[in-house]
Structure 1
Amino acid sequence: MGNSFGCSASGERLVSAARDGDLIEAKMLLEFNPGLAKYSTFGGLNSPLHFAASKGHNEIVALLLENGADVNSRNYCGQTALMQACRHGHWEVVQTLMLYRCNVMKADYLSGRTALHFAAVSGHVRCIRLVVADFVASVPYETLHARVDADVGDGLNTKRKQEQSALCKFVNKTADAGITALHMAALNGYFDCVQLLLDLNAYVSAATYHYGTSMDLIGKWLPLDVARMWGRHWLEPLLSPSSDAVVSPFPTSNYLSLPLMSVLNIARECGLHSSTTSSNEIDFCAVCLERPCSVAAEGTRF
């Protein structure tokens, strides 16, 4: 939405409150005029929601969304609040935006990056796990994990590919010049992000194009090539598409088995995204993301 309120003094005050984390001021302004939640700065450069998300002010993010802010609104670069939160690693904000069913598939205008790209390039593994929550069923790892195995029949491989098509499409979505989230994580050497993306069936054979605006990755490079170019040698055993060397299997990412799809869907049904909900009630994902998860996925509703 554009700047429908003009150069509103109240709107600018809300922008300042969202940027500075002044929850009391934000509440006061929105009580007086809930429509301010849709305000944007001159020329649509940014909105209170974008400022709050980029700064990690989760309570203000929830307050703005409750008052009608568009969870999928874009700033002047085409970035959503989810992209801003993922870029800066504010996983609590990502959690709130996911509860409001933000569109994780959106890409920015400048480079075609999704929120997954922004999380991967900055090494924010918790954000990655939350962003893919609606694609990863709350089932045991062995059921979810369906890498194509050369030892099984073509029929079974075809079925596995179909079951994971939505997840694979998202995880391997390319930005400018064919860059995937795996390229981004490899570029900066984030082992835990690379590990999780591989467990989500990111393609180690995805190659960048010979053109684009992302200068660091221009050329035809695999994620392995990117890791080697930038000296991330500890990633080579994970990223090698084919290797004669005997490599010990690396452990499954601790984040993959978390039943976040079930947790998020239950929270959506119960209305736990409200800013009036007590902090003890809204820390549901913190249990999984901050310590080893012992919640059994079997028997969940979703």
Structure 2
Amino acid sequence: MGQGHSRRRARGPALLKAVRTGDTARVEEVLASCPGAAGYCTIEGLSCVHVAAATRRADLLEHLLMALRQAQASPRQHKAWRRSFATTINQKNVHGQTPLMLACRSGAADCVRLLLEAGADPTLFDGLQQRTCLHYAALHGWAEAIEALVDDESVVRAADGHMQPLREAIIADSQGHHRYIDGREGCGLAPLHLAATHGHLAAVKTLLKWGASIAVRCNTSYGAGSSSSVPWTPHSTPLHYAAAGGRCRVVYALLQAAAERQRDDPHTHDVRVLVDFRATACAWSAPST
């Protein structure tokens, strides 16, 4: 076992370099001689899986996952490689980011699906701003990555033992307990806040399609963006952020979704009159022209 570990350590750096440069032939060569090299990571926690996900190389990621499974199936080292496989899939780098987070940040929907199928945990938080992979996808406007995360195929086991959609799962975030799709990051923002703030219309529509709350509130102060000197206070909704940033198409999408939900449930709150901590309604949040 010690010899196999030493061999992996020796081939690991070569594999990491090949993945970084996108050298498919070299990746295949290293993995053929030492499948366990796929579990290599640097002292900073950077793994080959991280790099493949961040660079949108689903083909290389597939090779790495296959090699990890092959090593896992070894009858001599089954338990050791099983731990290695689970650890590698959810390995955090120096910033607390998993491969799944980097795949969502880069909009690599194929990589997102591969990692989820391999058992990656989408509920983990990073070490920077306590964001999940869904926050990353929303922040950067990757609608397809959001779809891969929260569609009907993404399920988790609930406390009662039954499987339920990931988007409906209750998680403990930085602000309490919320549905996964409405989970707050360190600044108290839900994914819909982030997508609305940056004007990512497709991402906003995808989150709304899968049931994201339009009335979700942020719990701390947060700047509306580098172009704005006005910090938005606790209790601001995504509509506050979109109106403040002049994101007209996003505002329209949010209002349209709110109207449709109100037709389905007349008791739904009118998001247009919801006020933030300063008693500012969305209608008063738009910048003057």
> TM-score per shorter chain, which class?
0.5 to 0.7
Q: In proportion to residue count, which structure has more strand?
A: 2
**2:58 equivalent in structure 1:** 58
Q: Which stretches of structure 1, 4 residues or longer, exceed 3 Å deviation after superposition?
A: 4-9, 134-137, 162-165, 211-218, 240-243
Q: Is the 8 A contact 2:39 2:47 kept in 1?
A: yes
Which structure is higher in RCO with an 8 Å CA cutoff and minimum separation 6?
Answer: 1
Corresponding position of 1:237: 252
Gaps of 5+ in 1: 138-161, 250-302
Q: Is the 8 A contact 1:111 1:214 kept in 2?
A: no
Match of 1:201 among 211, 218, 234: 211
2:246 counterpart of 1:219: no
Partners of 1:175 and 1:164 in 2: CA distance: 15
C-alpha offsets along residues 238-273 of structure 1, whole Å, 9 cap, x if unaligned? 335998xxx689xxxxxxxxxxxxxxxxxxxxxxxx
Distance 2:203 2:115 in 1: 21
- Residue 71 of structure 1 aligns to which amino acid in structure 2? I
CA distance in 2, matches of 1:53, 1:64: 11
Q: Which amino acid aligns with 2:217?
A: A
TM-score, length basis structure 1:
0.64
Q: Deviations over 1:41-98 (max 9, x none)?
A: 1332x11110111001111111111222522111111111111111111111112112
Change (3 A) 1:67 1:89: same
Post-superposition shift, 1:231?
1.4
Contact 1:117 1:184 in 2 (8 A): yes
- Whether contact under 8 Å (1:176, 1:214) holds in the other structure is no
Give matches, 1:145-224, under 5 Å: 165-166=168-169, 169-211=179-221, 219-220=233-234, 221-224=236-239
Distance in 1 separating the partners of 2:99 and 2:48:
10
Cα drift, residue 11 of structure 1: 1.8
> How far apart, in 2, do the equivalents of 1:188 and 1:212 lie?
13
Partners of 2:96 and 2:186 in 1: CA distance: 14
How is 1:93-104 mapped onto 2 (pairs within 5 angstroms)? 93-104=111-122
> Do residues 76 (structure 1) and 90 (structure 2) align?
no
Deviation per residue, 1:74-133 (Å, 9 max, x gap):
111111111111111111111211221321111111111111111111111111011113
Question: Deviation per CA, 1:210-232, whole angstroms, max 9, x where unpaired?
Answer: 35799877632210111112210
- Contact 2:8/2:34 (<8 A) preserved: no
Judged with a 3 Å threshold, the aligned counterparts in structure 2 of structure 1 residues 52 and 191 are, in CA distance, closer, same or farther, namely same
Q: Any gaps of 5 or more consecutive residues in structure 2? A: 69-84, 156-164, 171-177, 262-289
Instruction: State how many pairs are aligned.
Output: 218
- Where does 1:1-302 land on structure 2 (aligned, <5 Å)? 8=9, 10-44=11-45, 46-68=46-68, 69=85, 70-134=88-152, 165-166=168-169, 169-211=179-221, 219-220=233-234, 221-240=236-255
Q: Given the superposition, is the C-alpha separation of residues 135 and 203 from structure 1 closer, same or farther in structure 2, using an over 3 Å criterion?
A: farther
Matches of 1:109 and 1:213 in 2, distance apart?
A: 20
Q: Kindly state the Cα deviation for residue 165 of structure 1 after the two structures are TM-superposed.
A: 3.9
